[in-house]
Chain A
Amino acid sequence: MPKTKTTLTCIIALAWTAGASAQWAPVPDPKLPRDAEGNVRMDAPTPKTAAGTPDLSGLWMRTRSGPPPENAGGGGGGQLEPEQAPVPLDPNGPPIAAFFEAGQNIEGGLPYTPWAKELRDRRFALRAKDNPDAQCLPMGFLQFHQQPQPRQIIQTDKMILIVYEANYGLRYIYLDGRELPPQGEPQPYWYGYSVGHWDGNDLVVETNNLRGADEDSPYDGWMDVNGSPYTRQAKFTERFRRPTLGHLQIDLTIEDPKAYTKPWTVRVDQRLLPDQELIEFVCNENQQFERRIQLNQEPASEPSSTP
């Protein structure tokens, strides 16, 4: 079809990306520092609260500092968001997390226990159909941090809320000095129990009492899209820092002796989405994914980062 091909080439030559014109009108924030053209100065100093701590509040999109994201172009999966300039990479920082395979940039991969490796491989062979994100359910923190939909951090002196556009997720992090409860005391929750304290400019958030992959439900305890698990024994430590106005960095460490032979840490970078707002996403409206899929074909095979 040479005519069609020529026409399509012509279309592509004249094409523009619709992303340039969001229909959800931006609401300029008069408090944000701007240059002469009115662009927000993303490298401006970190905002502070009245109490003098860094203020992490804002609408954040995941971004990258490390190698290009997996699945960039080339057949399937598409791009998760328009390509952005990466934030600076700290060569001394922990490995950069990947969305599909959490340990993609960890030498030797994740230190799975045999139990966890078997579970992860079983989940992968089912093409991650039980990934909680696929079921409109709350995700594990590492998946939430990297989800392409934005999240709003609302910080007060007593508490931080993280409101996720994805699957209307909502996390509470208590800053009032309370202790982390013993593991197993509160009932296990999708979001666990999180307490935070300031360590210099880092907000250190510890979480336990999560539902885990050792629950009855297949949707519990997913670290990443491919199915790396965490269990009810998991303890997460996240260090949130905001090096500049426009950059949020989260180092996430998991200790989970049932799933991993040693703790491991990965880094997630996020960029400020200034003058924008969350947009409603009621995931359960018409969720028919389970009805459509067929899993009686050939099992999925590696490489694992393939969508």
Chain B
Amino acid sequence: MNRQARLKRMNIGALTGIAAAAFTASLPVAAHHSFSAEFDAAKEIRATGAVTKLDWQNPHGWIHMTVTEICERTAARGPDAVEQEWACRSPAGDEKGADWAFELGSPNGLMRQGWTRNSLKQGDVITVLGSRARDGSTNSNARSVTMADGKRLFAGSSEGATP
């Protein structure tokens, strides 16, 4: 099976099986870089794909993934703002390719949120919500990560399971 097909199959499998073990991890946003210098909070991104690598390092962890779907929209700002619809596309044929990277918080903050360096493994299919880099690259800042994790690394799931 070629890589693209494999990813596609994993994606579908994950999206059907995800509910049993999924959780949404909110990410601590430590301020040890200038968020606004690097990322544009107005440019929201939602990406689904398979993890290729987790960089568990300071001052920020990074998730590297091969995306199967990229959705973008302008962030709704202010109390009266209307939430926009996502505009979604396949990365196939995208000149930037399908390899994207998402910045996390720092390992100390992530640990307080229940993460470990083993929370994501190569091939895990995840959906990341975040903000795109100002430089138009395939870097983004992750605000939340929704994981498909049959191994239930963490306590407190909706099923009351504990590791």
Contact = CB atoms under 8 A, between A and B. Distances in A.
B28 A127 contact: no
A74 B114 contact: no
A127 B18 contact: no
B53 to A, nearest CB: 14
A75 B81 CA distance: 11
Instruction: Give the interface size class of chain A.
Output: 35 or more
A80 B158 contact: no
B131 interface: yes
A128 B59 contact: no
Interface string A128-148: 110101101000000000011
B115 A18 contact: yes
14 contacts: A1-B69, A7-B15, A18-B23, A24-B111, A75-B76, A131-B31, A134-B32, A279-B107, A279-B108, A282-B58, A289-B33, A292-B135, A297-B134, A307-B36
Nearest to B18: A11
Interface of B: 15-16, 18-19, 22-42, 44, 48, 55, 57-59, 69, 71, 75-78, 81, 86, 88, 106-109, 111-116, 127, 131, 133-135, 139, 143-144, 146, 154-158
B92 to A, nearest CB: 15
A79 B35 CA distance: 13
Interface in A6-52: 7-8, 10-12, 14-24
- Among B28, B34, B116, chain A packs the most CB atoms within 10 A around the CB of B34
A125 to B, nearest CB: 11
A189 interface: no
A166 B39 CA distance: 21
Contacts of B113: 17-19, 22
A293 interface: yes
B59 A14 contact: no
A287 interface: yes
A81 interface: yes
The 10 tightest CB contacts between A and B, nearest first, are A76-B41, A75-B75, A18-B114, A279-B108, A127-B37, A285-B58, A21-B155, A15-B24, A20-B156, A289-B33
Contact of A279 (B18, B55, B111): B111
Contacts of A284: 58-59
- Among B30, B33, B109, B114, chain A packs the most CB atoms within 10 A around the CB of B33
A131 B115 contact: no
Given A21-B156, A136-B59, A279-B108, A8 B127 contact: yes
Interface string A174-190: 00000000000000000
A80 B28 contact: yes
A77 B41 contact: yes
A238 interface: no
B154 A21 contact: yes
Contacts of B41: 75-77, 306-307
A4 interface: yes
B44 A75 contact: yes
B77 to A, nearest CB: 5
A233 to B, nearest CB: 26
B26 A17 contact: yes
B70 to A, nearest CB: 11
B111 A76 contact: no
A294 interface: yes
A126 interface: yes
A7 B18 contact: yes
A280 interface: yes
A19 B114 contact: yes
A15 B22 contact: yes
Contact of A11 (B24, B29, B109, B134): B24
Contact of B33 (A1, A24, A134): A134
A109 interface: no
A144 to B, nearest CB: 11
Contact of B22 (A14, A149, A300): A14
Interface in A166-218: 166-167
